[in-house]
Structure 1
Amino acid sequence: MAVRPSPTLEQLPLAASGPFTTTGRGPAVPDTGAWFGAFVNAQNRRTGDQLDAIDSFEEMVDRPLALAHSFHPWQDDFPSTYDYELVHRGKLLMISWAGTDTRSIVTGVYDEEIRRRAEAVRNFRTPILLRYRWEMDRPNLFNVVHSPEDYVAAWKHVRAIFTEVGADNAAWVWCPHADGFMDGRAQPYYPGDDQVDWLCADVYSGPEMYTFTQLMAPVLEWARHRPRPLLIGEFGVVQGNPGQRAAWLHEMRLALPQQPQIKGILYFSSEQDSRPRYATTVDKEPDAVKALTLLAKDPWLTRQPGH
């Protein structure tokens, strides 16, 4: 079944007060400013521990999250109990759904499984952001993604099933790494304006300590030609020399209001010794906590859940 074109950014209804509203393609886009959210890692995936981690993060930055981020492997059932609880707490949910082998997807072998996920999302009855197979441009995913052409074919196959079952409360979020736009590897994976509701990039300083502006410049240059809202699906800054984390977050806070296409940002808070690029917790670094708090409470990002 063909996927009907998504509305342009100008055609999307504005978010109203009260519960998050739907455009027929996921949540309505904020009229001004942007949503602030996070993924907060817990030691295990028990719902109670995950929610406690969210509570601790909100206490640290002294504000509630408008957006909450949930990850699901390909064969996970979702929305999960945790996902339901996040929405019950007034969060707008972003689900990141890992893919599987793209060439297998287009054979139809997973169609019934995809259909069950689509029906579950439809029955969730609340607008969500669905980030299907994010960071598809990562070299370590080559064996399952194969090529941009294979990825696009798989995206279209999965989304067509969601459309067929009427799961139009999900906005489809396309999200490579920001640095993939620097060397041109990300752009060929774009499925097309008729397939994507939100543009997205994951932005990490890396050990080089590239600034937010440096990392986002090629993303924004590419995105400005496409009438879609832009999401920072993950951002984080690793520990460097004293004061570097705080300076990075301060620069980001100043840069955001200059980019009105950005409508949401989600911090990625995780301590991962095996993956230093993603070791982004700041709670033991007071100046970084202060900088992240100032960012989270900036007037550009003070939209509360449901507003």
Structure 2
Amino acid sequence: MLRITVPRIAALVALALMVGYTFVLAPRLSRGHDQDPYGFAGAAPTAMPTWLTSALAAPPTAAPTTATPGASAVPAPTPAPAPQFPPAGEAFTGIMTKTGPYDLSPLDEFTSAVKHQPNVLEFSVGWWDRKFDRRIFDTVAQRGIMPMVAWEPWDYRKEAKEDKLRGEQPEYALSNIIDGKFDDYIRTWAEGVKGLGYPVALRFAHEMNGYWYPWAEQANGNKKGQYVQAWKHVHDLFKQVGATKVTWVWSPNVDYENATGLNTLYPGDDYVDWIGLSGYYGTTGVEKYKSFDQIFQPTIKELRDFTQKPVVITETGATDTSGLKAQWISEMFTQLPQHPDIIGVIWYEARKEVDWRVAASDAASQAYAAGVSAPRYSTPWTVRSVPALTTAPPPPAPSPTPDPSPSPSASPSATKPNPPARKPTSTATRPRSSSTPAG
């Protein structure tokens, strides 16, 4: 039998301390420093920021229960359903700025000028950065604004100055995306988006029907059909990772002469949630005044030949060169309710080639403030919101006013039908989209 001695007791105590450090303390320290790059060191791996935990908590609603004789009935609370964004018949407003979440002063200036906080902030992130930064999303979401990322597979810093060569970056050819050369990076983003805990919109490889980006089929040695293959490949990687709180925004430029046909670039309704469109009054080719309807309606009509997905105007703006910006904005808000399939409009609030900013003009700010004050733009976005995936039916046509003294010879079969509408020819060319440094 072993005798209990001081050295033996000391050895046992030392062994217990080593076991406790190895199996209890060390793993916690490792999780805090090595697996938490977003500033929450020391928290459990599944921990969320305090503001997000509170915001995600669904307010309970009382649910009636069946009382048994002689027992007091206590209603069982049930979680409130997640709000749809935007609700049926309503629309959201947003802005896109050059600085995005890295500098929110343009957002604050816009909000102050129009007396309304946008529901969406769109910003660009290029693939050259090769990292996912949660902070830029939280910065936006914490304000009650939905983040929408224009996720661009290129390096904007190497954009050629010659217009025809702007889309030439062989590293970012569609074939490289399809063949998996960016899979590790894509999965990093998918994991990051999954870990956010709230929905975001991903506007991947936009304006693909043009020639000015490396992912366009008209550029960079890309071939017909490769855009759809690349889109599906990226989408499928997100699905494999379990990143399901993503609103996929397929976003061409408004149709123009020599653009790639939209139906050949569409991945299919199973791969798209929202249709996005870019269109401006005042870019090259549309110096002549064109209303909101004149710019967008021909392309929306074309889209309806192959999809009924909701439409978001992901980039728009108007120049004030002719002093008509305020008029254009007023017309936009007048015409929007006539398009129940347009569920959102994002203004390009920046200076690029011309000054598109609303906040730069008192008249434009007042016109925007008056239009956005309508109740249909009042629904906020929250981290619990779910995207609207269908649109409200169009409003019923007004009943014709009967003629109080019809001609005796008139009859329904004698009514002359309206001639078919002639499809307008779009002369709009592409705007210059924002390409913002990703950090």
1:79–1:121: 8 Å Cα contact kept in structure 2?
A: no
Partner of 2:147: 93
Moved more, 282-291 or 252-261: 282-291
Pairing partner for 1:57 from 110, 116, 120: 110
Structure 1 residues not aligned, in runs of 5+: 1-16
SS of residue paired to 2:269: coil
| Alpha-carbon shift at residue 112 of structure 1 (Å) | 1.0
SS of residue paired to 1:112: helix
User: Counterpart amino acid of 1:230?
Assistant: V
Structure 2 residues not aligned, in runs of 5+: 1-57, 60-80, 154-171, 386-439
Aligned partners of 2:150, 2:309: CA distance in 1, in Å? 19
Pairing partner for 1:211 from 291, 294, 304: 291
Q: Deviations over 1:113-152 (max 9, x none)?
A: 1111111111111111110011112222243482451111
Partner of 1:271: 351
Moved more, 179-188 or 283-292: 179-188
Partner of 2:120: 67
TM-score (ref. length: structure 2)? 0.59
CA change 1:148–1:202 in 2 (3 A) is farther
| Alpha-carbon shift at residue 51 of structure 1 (Å) | 1.6
Aligned partners of 2:94, 2:237: CA distance in 1, in Å? 29
Write 1 or 2 for the structure with the bigger share of helix.
1
Aligned partners of 1:233, 1:75: CA distance in 2, in Å? 23
Q: Is structure 2 residue 175 aligned with structure 1 residue 103?
A: yes
| Alpha-carbon shift at residue 227 of structure 1 (Å) | 3.0
Q: State which structure, 1 or 2, has the greater radius of gyration over its C-alpha atoms.
A: 2
TM-score (ref. length: structure 1)? 0.82
Q: Is structure 2 residue 328 aligned with structure 1 residue 262?
A: no
Q: CA RMSD in A?
A: 2.6
Moved more, 184-193 or 196-205: 184-193
User: Counterpart amino acid of 2:192?
Assistant: A
CA change 1:224–1:202 in 2 (3 A) is same
**Higher normalized contact order (CA 8 Å, seq sep 6+, divided by chain length):** 1
2:97–2:123: 8 Å Cα contact kept in structure 1?
A: no
Q: Give the count of matched residue pairs.
A: 278
Partner of 2:233: 157
Pairing partner for 2:136 from 82, 88, 94: 82
- Identity between Structure 1 and Structure 2 (%): 27
| Alpha-carbon shift at residue 258 of structure 1 (Å) | 0.6
Aligned partners of 1:292, 1:147: CA distance in 2, in Å? 42
Matches within 5 A, 1:101-250: 101-141=173-213, 142-144=218-220, 146-180=222-256, 185-205=261-281, 206=283, 207-225=287-305, 226-242=307-323, 244-250=324-330
Aligned partners of 2:331, 2:115: CA distance in 1, in Å? 20
Q: Deviations over 1:234-258 (max 9, x none)?
A: 111122212x111111111111001
| Alpha-carbon shift at residue 22 of structure 1 (Å) | 6.8
